[in-house]
Structure 1
Amino acid sequence: MDILVDIATTIVAQMQKPTLAFLLGGMMLAALGSKLEVPDPVYKFIVILLLLKVGLGAGISIREADFVALMVPALGAALIGILIVFLGGITLARRRGVAPMDGMATAGLFGAVSASTLAAGMAMLDSEGIFYEGFIGALYPFMDVAALVTAIILARMSAARKAAPAAAGGTATLTVGGGPGFNGDLIKGILVDTLRSPAISALLLGIMIGLFARPESVYESFYEPLFRGLLSILMLIMGMEAWSRLSELRKVAHAYVLYGITAPIIHGLLGFAVGLAAHHLTGFSGGGVVLLAVMAASSSDISGPPTMRGALPEANPSAYVGTSTGLGTPVAILSIPLFIALAEQFIGF
């Protein structure tokens, strides 16, 4: 009982932090019909700056990081992304009223990472003075790419299996290198499109500059001081966007609503478990475990949607974008205090 009280106290305290307050404020403004708008170019500029900041910090830290200490959570991040997609494939994608292609696209977004949610988690840990490894940002592409590639391949393979009987006179055949709706260039195309997406490109650029150059002066004088202020504006935008996206869920099955509410918590707990294993194996910090859980709980809001639109044009954006942005993102951000409380109990800071 004392543990539950401690966790509840931590959650309540974290809900009063600026990061969550701006998110809830944005949702409230949208619910009240406010005409407040933030221009899309401003939103994109803020996201790029935040991702460059995360990437620069990760690149600077990678220079001094132990290889094993980095690769264990990195491989864990990729594994989480793949597991989340498979979990979505055997739950959401098989629910009545859910088209398999739409279900897999949604699972892919939930397996990928939200830059805004990761930034929110970092800001909350920073405000509490909780240490986490600087290379955390470098784990983003591992989980993001693994989830998106897995989801698109599974969706294409499923479509190919359905098309094969008609093409082969009733005999189902699937050739990985060139079956119906699936070919050997698919993986390459997905990887290229994902790595070229604005979010991953900005993050990888920051990592490369931080790793091979010496950007500490601009990082400390420009990116670091702006981080929390820009994040508060981003949270306000995300809150308004989340509320507006809820209307899209009326067009799809109720299964998406259930998935959007429960999946972030389940995925976050999966990420927490993998992070806890990395903690025992390599001494991965409690803050690092929290952020790995936050990445697992998040759903892609920048790199994922355009990737899905290009690779799975048959999928319904109202299903996967509405579920991800309308429910997944706010639930994931609001669950960050839960993961902080769990880390306090199981690891300590």
Structure 2
Amino acid sequence: MDFLSDFMTLFLAKLQSPTLGFLIGGMVVAAVNSRLQIPDAIYKFIVFMLLIKVGLSGGIAIRNANLAEMLLPAVFAMAVGILIVFIGRYTLAKMPNVKTVDAIATAGLFGAVSGSTLAAALTLMETEGIQYEPWAAALYPFMDIPALVTAIVLASVYISKQYDTADEALSKQESLGSPVKYRRKSKRVKIWPIVKESLQGSALSALLLGLALGILTRPESVYESFFNPLFRGLLSILMLVMGMEATARIGELRKVGQWYALYAAIAPLLHGLIAFGFGMIAHYTTGFSPGGCVILAVIASSSSDISGPPTLRAGIPSANPSAYIGSSTAVGTPVALAIGIPLFIGLAQTLMGS
């Protein structure tokens, strides 16, 4: 009973954070049809600045860290990203009136990582004084790329099987003497173009650029004097934009049905709890910090909002973008931000005394 009481107290306290307040404020502003607009160029600049900052801090930490400490959390991040896609493939894809390729693309987007959600979590943790390995942000690509690759491969395999089934039907038709107009050919799945597309995405490119600069140069002075002081202010504006975007996308979610809404409401918390469990294993075996467990859970609960959609559009062109983007922005991201982040911080503080 004491555990539940302590957890609820911590959870409710996190909901009052200014970061989440801006998110809710953006949702309210959009709901009342306000004409407030944040130019897209400003939004992209803010995301770039936040991810460069996260990358720089991670790169600086990696330069000074024991890389062996990163091994187990990195393996767990990869495993979780792949697992999330398979969960969606064998849950959402089985629901009535849900197309399999749409479900796989949605699972891929939820397995990929949101840089802005990660930035929000890091800001809240710093505000709360929660310690974590600075290199933990570098777990981002270890989960993001395997999830996107897995989703595109699974979709390609499924489509290939559909083509093979159609070919068999055409062959039977041909053997019976009926005319056959054409025969479909399945395509082999090429992994490297998928990885390349993901690496070239704006969010992951910015993060990797920051990591490289942090590792190969000495950016501490510009980091402390420029990037770090701006972080919380820029993040507040980003949360406002994301709140407005989430409300605007609700109409898209209505087009694809209630199963996507249900999945998007449950999946972020389920994925985050799975990752948190893996984080606890790393905590008790290698000393991975409670704050690191929170970061692993947060990136698992997030769904990619920048690099993921264009990668999936290119890799699974037959999937309906309204299904996976609408599910993510209308429900998944608000759940991850408003419920997931406080939930995982509260769990870490309650279970491991962060």
Question: Does the alignment reach a TM-score above 0.5?
Answer: yes
Tell me which residue corresponds to 1:68: 68
- Aligned pair partner of 2:285 in 281, 293, 296: 281
Segments of 4+ moved more than 2 angstroms = 165-171, 179-182
- Alignment partner of 1:205 is 2:209: yes
TM-fit CA distance, 1:312 = 1.0
Task: For residue 346 of structure 1, report the CA deviation from its aligned partner.
Answer: 1.6
Amino acid at match of 2:267: A
Asked if 2 retains the 8 angstrom alpha-carbon contact of 1:279 and 1:285, the reply is yes
Aligned to 1:174: none
Asked if the contact 1:105–1:152 (Cα under 8 Å) also holds between the matched residues in 2, the reply is: yes
Aligned to 2:264: 260
Instruction: Determine if contact 2:137/2:295 at 8 Å carries over to the other structure.
Output: no
Deviation at 1:168, TM superposition (A): 4.2
Q: Given that residues 27 and 244 in structure 2 are in contact (C-alpha distance below 8 angstroms), is that contact kept between their aligned partners in structure 1?
A: yes
TM, length-normalised to structure 1: 0.96
From 320, 336, 341, the equivalent of 1:316 is 320
Q: Distance in 2 between matches of 1:27 and 1:110?
A: 21
Per-residue deviation, 1:253? 2.1
* Paired position in structure 2 for 1:175: none
Q: Distance in 2 between matches of 1:216 and 1:52?
A: 13
Gaps of 5+ in 1: 172-178
Alpha-carbon separation, structure 2, partners of 1:46 and 1:180: 44
Q: Measure how far apart 1:180 and its partner are.
A: 4.2
| Aligned twin of 2:12 | 12
**TM-score between both structures, scaled by the size of structure 2:** 0.94
Report the alpha carbon displacement of residue 181 of structure 1 after superposing the two structures with TM.
3.7
- In structure 2, distance between residues paired with 1:348 and 1:303: 35
Report matched runs for 1:152-171 at 5 Å. Answer: 152-169=152-169
How many Å separate the matches in 1 of 2:109 and 2:235?
22
Query: Following the alignment from structure 1 to structure 2, what is the Cα–Cα distance between the partners of residues 180 and 340?
Result: 50
1:73-88 equivalences in 2 (<5 Å)? 73-88=73-88
Secondary structure of 2:249's counterpart equals helix
Does residue 94 (structure 1) correspond to residue 99 (structure 2)? The answer is no
Structure 2 gap segments, 5+ residues each = 172-183
> Is contact 2:112-2:143 (8 Å) kept?
yes
The structure whose Rg is larger is: 2
Measure how far apart 1:75 and its partner are.
Answer: 1.1
Q: Distance in 2 between matches of 1:136 and 1:99?
A: 36
* Alignment partners' CA distance in 2, 1:165 and 1:24: 48
For residues 166 and 29 of structure 1, what CA distance do their matches in structure 2 show? 50
* Contact 1:15–1:337, Cα closer than 8 Å, also in 2: yes
Per-residue deviation, residues 230-270 of structure 1 (Å, max 9, x unmatched)? 00000000000001111111111210010010101100101
* Aligned position for 2:29: 29
Shift of 1:208: 0.5
Aligned equivalents of 1:169 and 1:248: distance in 2?
Answer: 36
Match of 2:343 in 1: 338
2 CA distance for matches of 1:346 and 1:170?
A: 60
Q: Give 1:2 deviation, angstroms.
A: 1.6
Amino acid aligned to 1:80: V
Letter in 1 for 2:345: I
Matched residue, 2:241: 237
Match of 1:295 in 2: 299
The alignment-based identity, stated in percent, is 55
- 1:249 maps to which of 247, 250, 253: 253
Aligned pair partner of 1:183 in 188, 200, 204? 188
By how many angstroms is 1:166 displaced?
Answer: 2.2
Instruction: Decide whether the 8 Å contact of 1:68 with 1:282 is kept in 2.
Output: no
DSSP 3-state at the match of 1:58: helix
Q: Which amino acid is the alignment partner of residue 317 of structure 1?
A: P
Match of 1:221 in 2: 225
Deviation per CA, 1:61-120, whole angstroms, max 9, x where unpaired? 001211221111111111100000000000001211100010000000000101111011
Amino acid at match of 1:113: V
What is the aligned-residue RMSD (CA, Å)? 1.4
Asked if structure 2 preserves the Cα contact closer than 8 Å seen for 1:157 and 1:182, the reply is no
